[in-house]
């Protein structure tokens, strides 16, 4: 990422237009491209295959922000179409508290690198999970927010395709929970329509059964499977499929999970004493191997589990508790 050394706010570099997916039609969204020199780099927050996210400060307002630099290809060229697609998806999700909010698209007029500026939230759920599992009440509070975020995404005709703890942010004090990193997000395609071009999407441990083996026809249900994996991880304190090393492992273990939750739910996952029957119904509905039987975000939010007693607040102390004794992996009890 280029060092921002200017002291005066830089003017906009121009405007560009991108398509933003919606259920009935595509909206045309115009993005004014501002200068990266309006921001001061503070520290690196995370780095992945496709880019780097840094913590920054807006020189114009003093506000703390998160800035995503989209890594150029081997020839030094940035895929502007992919950048604008992600920006368009974020633009479509303005408003709801459970999806990270975009502020603007900026660029370096010298290197021509492009950046997306977003609100600064806090650490990832992955970071917090290294400290232990959550209670059923805390899990319900977090899942309520995640499902609301998924409901908004899917209502706008967007499939995230990379739901996982690394792409979920926890706000200061543990209250706000936000879905982030829409770099793999795409407009949903109708059932039976053209397949997606990508052969592999989603991290292995969160990859839905219909994606295994290079499946390229799928819908929003892939996000719901991943959220089921996240829910299990919140309760267990470790990834549900952590022992899986291949797609074949995932498929075998997914079938074992489904069978155990239907036949012997009282001992599934080594026992989840805090989770009520209603909570198990939600988990079972999210982890249905067949996508057509999987709960949608709206269906999950309407489940009676979310009408149970008040949720425990997602406090910093609760999320920083010591890890519980490791539970037995479900595939060893079937």
Q: Which residues span the domain enclosing 181?
A: 125-306
Question: Which residues in 287-311 are b (16+ Cβ under 10 Å) and which e?
Answer: bbbebeebbbbeebbebebbeeeeb
Q: What is the pLDDT of residue 57?
A: 98
Nearest to 177 by CA among 223, 224, 225, 144: 144
CATH of the domain at 52: 3.30.200.20
Task: Give the bridge partners for 32, in sequence order.
Answer: 15
H helices present in the chain, as ranges: 80-92, 125-129, 136-155, 221-236, 247-263, 277-286, 297-301, 316-319
Q: Residues 255, 160: one domain?
A: yes
Q: Which residue is catalytic, options 108, 162, 181, 223? A: 162
What's the rounded mean pLDDT across residues 313-331? 41
Given a contact cutoff of 8 angstroms between Cβ atoms, the answer to whether 70 and 121 are in contact is no
- Given pLDDT bands bounded at 50, 70 and 90, which one contains residue 259? very high
Report percent pLDDT > 90 for the chain: 65
State how many domains the chain has. 2
Is 311 labeled as catalytic in the residue annotation? no
pTM of the predicted structure, to 2 decimals: 0.85
Is 260 domain-assigned? yes
Give the model confidence (pLDDT) of 63-88 as tens digits. 999 999 988 887 878 888 889 899 99
pLDDT of the residue at 47: 85
Task: Give residue-wise pLDDT tens across range 265-293.
Answer: 777 777 777 899 999 999 999 999 999 99
Q: Do 190 and 78 share a domain, yes or no?
A: no
Residue 318 lies in a domain: no
27 is known to lie in a ligand binding site: no
- 250 and 164 in one domain? yes
User: Which pLDDT value is given to residue 156?
Assistant: 96
The answer to whether residue 10 is domain-embedded is: no
3-state secondary structure (DSSP) of residue 90: helix
* Residues 112 and 130 both lie in one domain: no
Domain with residue 160: its CATH number is 1.10.510.10
Specify if 88 maps to a domain: yes
């Amino acid at each position: 990422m280029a060092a921002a050394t200017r002291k005066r706010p830089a003017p906009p570099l121009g405007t560009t237009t991108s398509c933003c997916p919606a259920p009935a039609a595509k909206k045309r969204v115009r993005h004014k491209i501002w200068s990266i020199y309006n921001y001061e780099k503070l520290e690196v927050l995370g780095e992945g295959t496709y880019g780097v996210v840094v913590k920054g400060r807006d020189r114009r307002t003093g506000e703390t922000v998160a800035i995503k630099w989209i890594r150029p290809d081997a020839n030094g060229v940035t895929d502007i179409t992919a950048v604008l697609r992600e920006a368009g998806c974020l633009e479509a999700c303005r408003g709801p508290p459970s999806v990270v909010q975009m502020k603007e698209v900026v660029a370096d007029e010298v290197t021509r690198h492009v950046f997306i500026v977003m609100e600064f939230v806090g650490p990832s759920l992955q970071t917090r999970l290294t400290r232990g599992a959550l209670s059923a009440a805390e899990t319900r509070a977090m899942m309520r927010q995640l499902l609301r975020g998924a409901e908004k995404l899917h209502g706008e005709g967007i499939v995230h395709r990379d739901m996982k703890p690394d792409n979920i942010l926890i706000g200061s004090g543990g209250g706000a929970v936000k879905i982030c990193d829409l770099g793999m997000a795409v407009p949903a395609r109708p059932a039976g329509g053209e397949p997606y071009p990508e052969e592999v999407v989603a991290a292995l441990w969160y990859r839905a059964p219909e994606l295994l083996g290079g499946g390229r026809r799928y819908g929003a249900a892939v996000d719901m499977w991943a959220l089921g994996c996240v829910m299990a991880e919140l309760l267990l304190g470790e990834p549900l499929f952590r022992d899986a090393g291949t797609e074949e492992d995932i498929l075998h273990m997914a079938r074992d999970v489904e069978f155990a939750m239907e036949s012997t739910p009282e001992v599934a996952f080594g026992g989840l004493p805090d989770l009520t029957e209603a909570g198990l119904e939600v988990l079972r509905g999210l982890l249905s191997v067949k996508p057509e039987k999987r709960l949608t975000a709206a269906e999950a939010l309407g489940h009676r589990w979310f009408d149970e007693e008040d949720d425990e607040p997602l406090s910093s102390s609760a999320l920083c508790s010591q890890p519980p004794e490791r539970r037995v992996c479900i595939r060893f009890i079937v």
